Amino acid sequence: MVAQHGIRGDSASTIAASVEAAIREGRLAAGAPLPTVRELARALRLSPTTVAAAYRWLRVRGLVHAQGRRGTRVSPRPPLPTPALAPAPAHLHDLSLGNPDATLLPPFRRALARAARRPGLYGEPANRPALLAVAARRFEADGLPRGSLAVVGGALDGIERVLQAHLRPGDRVAVEDPGYVAVFDLLGALGLAPEPVAVDETGPVPDDLARALRAGAAAFVLTPRAQNPTGAALDAARARELRRVLGRHPDVLVVEDDHAGPVAGVPALSVCHARVRWAHVHSVSKSLGPDLRLAILAGDATTVARVEGRQSVGTGWVSHLLQDIVLALWSDPATNTCLRRAAEAYTARRDRLLRALAAHGIPAQGRSGLNVWIPVPEEAPVVAALAHEGWAVRAGERYRLRASSAVRITIAALTAAEAERVALAVARSLRPDSRRASA
């Protein structure tokens, strides 16, 4: 294995650089095993201590992770340039990517015309005051906690900056399980350890969150609505329970990822009221369009100041042109009409698929958002069977830490007729005898 992947070096830093190059160049794929410390030390004629130090550095960078008896493996999504996720074959109807329905996004034409202005220059305020004022009114109307506001480059940018503002490598972070793949990958890249918290239809399970916090989690990342992949959403009772659990841990950082916002199909709720360290990240990706790459970050004064301070010595600001487009869209009454229509359409499409699955005796989750989560005994056979019938869906493995097997189906553009066909295909995939009988 050492020769095959070209791992070499005479010090911890050169070994680590060699492994990094092998990952970057594709010689070590995501999930691939690395030699044991003793095997590599013997092959390179170095001490196990030197190799262990190299592996430790790679773990801190999020390039590899330890899996107990399975040894050390390349992370599922290491923080390096890697080939983009392959699109579904052209003959398949793609229900795997999690995109919003482009026909339900507000048109940009009027917003672009209203946003036309002189070029932005250095020295201008990083955040458009008018945009923050509109955001503050929207947050207040939703009953979200009052806090300082800033503009960040999307939900994950905001989450990353908040975590970096308070945590250090090795800290544990409570995360939803099943949960969002990109959050898992982000934690790995930051050298943070995930502590899984079980999720049901109304969000994180309070008793399991309490366990994770007792285990030493320094932060908790949750999705209040449109949870990816399960579609879970907080209700008022669950939000109160979670606030009660979190109240026993006042120093824990709480980060809310409200990526779907007004098109989630359920009201906004928060567990951050009266907390010392908190952040609520409101992205426009699902409601206005993924390419805008913009989110509003609300949080306590210290957290937001740290985020803005780090931003000021890096990217500086989120494009004022993008800020102006979002401001123009949010200021246009036609946008609110469009968002209501999108929320209603997604709810109808989600409910249709859930009803169609239930008619076949198949339980599934999807209380809000763009996805439906279907528990299955084994993921690969179901994904393959659905592909055989013309549907591309996402296996749940990458969304799970300890949770049971499932597949995720994106309903964003699913028609009524398609929902019936997808449900029938799922039923056939779970009952192979029925597939043979109908062949």
Pairing verdict, β 406-410 and 394-395:
antiparallel
CATH number of the domain bearing residue 51 = 1.10.10.10
How many domains are there within the chain?
Answer: 3
Please check whether residue 87 is in contact with residue 196, taking contact to mean a CB–CB distance below 8 angstroms: no
pLDDT for position 82: 60
Q: What is the SS3 assignment for the chain?
A: CHHHHCCCCCCHHHHHHHHHHHHHCCCCCCCCECCCHHHHHHHHCCCHHHHHHHHHHHHHCCCEEECHHHCEEECCCCCCCCCCCCCCCCCCEECCCCCCCHHHCCCCHHHHHHHCCCCCCCCCCCCCHHHHHHHHHHHHHCCCCCCEEEEECCHHHHHHHHHHHHCCCCCEEEEEECCCHHHHHHHHHCCCEEEEEEEECCEECHHHHHHHHHCCCCEEEECCCCCCCCCCCCCHHHHHHHHHHHHCCCCCEEEEEECCHHHCCCCCCCCCCCCCCEEEEEECCCCCCHHHCCEEEEECHHHHHHHHHHHHCCCCCCCHHHHHHHHHHHCCHHHHHHHHHHHHHHHHHHHHHHHHHHHCCCCCECCCCCEEEEECCCHHHHHHHHHHCCEECEECHHHCCCCCCEEEEECCCCCHHHHHHHHHHHHHHHCHHHHHHHC
In this structure, what are the phi and psi dihedrals at residue 250, rounded to the nearest 5 degrees?
Answer: -65, -20
CATH number of the domain bearing residue 393 = 3.90.1150.10
Q: Is the peptide bond before 145 cis (omega within 30 degrees of 0)?
A: no
The answer to whether position 277 is within a domain reads yes
> Do 292 and 147 sit in the same domain of this protein?
yes
> Do 309 and 385 sit in the same domain of this protein?
no
91-145: pLDDT as tens digits:
899 999 999 999 999 998 888 888 767 788 899 999 999 999 999 999 999 999 9
* Residue whose structure tokens are 């003793």: 38
> Do 318 and 392 sit in the same domain of this protein?
no
pLDDT for position 104: 97
The answer to whether position 358 is within a domain reads yes
d(CA 244, CA 230): 24
Boundary of a domain, candidates 306, 331, 356: 331
Angle between helix 301-312 and helix 155-166 axes, rounded to 10 deg = 110
> Do 183 and 35 sit in the same domain of this protein?
no
pLDDT for position 113: 85
d(CA 366, CA 291): 25
> Do 34 and 177 sit in the same domain of this protein?
no
> Do 112 and 243 sit in the same domain of this protein?
yes
> Do 323 and 353 sit in the same domain of this protein?
no
268 CB contacts (<8 Å, ≥6 apart)?
142, 143, 144, 224, 225, 258, 261
* Residue whose structure tokens are 């940018």: 157
- Tokens linked to 410: 């994106």
| Domain of 269, in residue numbers | 107-331
Q: How many C-beta neighbours within 10 Å does residue 52 have?
A: 15
**CA dist 16 → 21, 82, 192, 218 (Å):** 9, 18, 19, 28
Boundary of a domain, candidates 279, 313, 331: 331
- Tokens linked to 179: 């949960």
The answer to whether position 190 is within a domain reads yes
> Do 209 and 357 sit in the same domain of this protein?
no
The answer to whether position 85 is within a domain reads no
In this structure, what are the phi and psi dihedrals at residue 125, rounded to the nearest 5 degrees?
Answer: -55, 140
d(CA 383, CA 311): 41
> Do 304 and 175 sit in the same domain of this protein?
yes
Please check whether residue 316 is in contact with residue 126, taking contact to mean a CB–CB distance below 8 angstroms: yes
> Do 197 and 320 sit in the same domain of this protein?
yes
pLDDT for position 219: 98
pLDDT for position 316: 95
Q: Is the full-model pTM beyond 0.95?
A: no
**CA dist 32 → 20, 83, 379 (Å):** 13, 16, 20
> Do 205 and 281 sit in the same domain of this protein?
yes
Please check whether residue 295 is in contact with residue 257, taking contact to mean a CB–CB distance below 8 angstroms: no
d(CA 295, CA 285): 8
pLDDT for position 112: 87
CATH number of the domain bearing residue 200 = 3.40.640.10
pLDDT for position 1: 57
The answer to whether position 86 is within a domain reads no
Q: What is the side-by-side strand order in the sheet with 193-200?
A: 148-152, 295-299, 278-283, 253-258, 219-222, 172-177, 193-200, 203-204
The answer to whether position 82 is within a domain reads no
pLDDT for position 3: 58
d(CA 282, CA 298): 8
> Do 287 and 402 sit in the same domain of this protein?
no
Q: How many C-beta neighbours within 10 Å does residue 31 have?
A: 12
Please check whether residue 411 is in contact with residue 370, taking contact to mean a CB–CB distance below 8 angstroms: yes
Ranges of residues in the chain whose predicted pLDDT is under 70? 1-4, 82-87, 116, 432-439
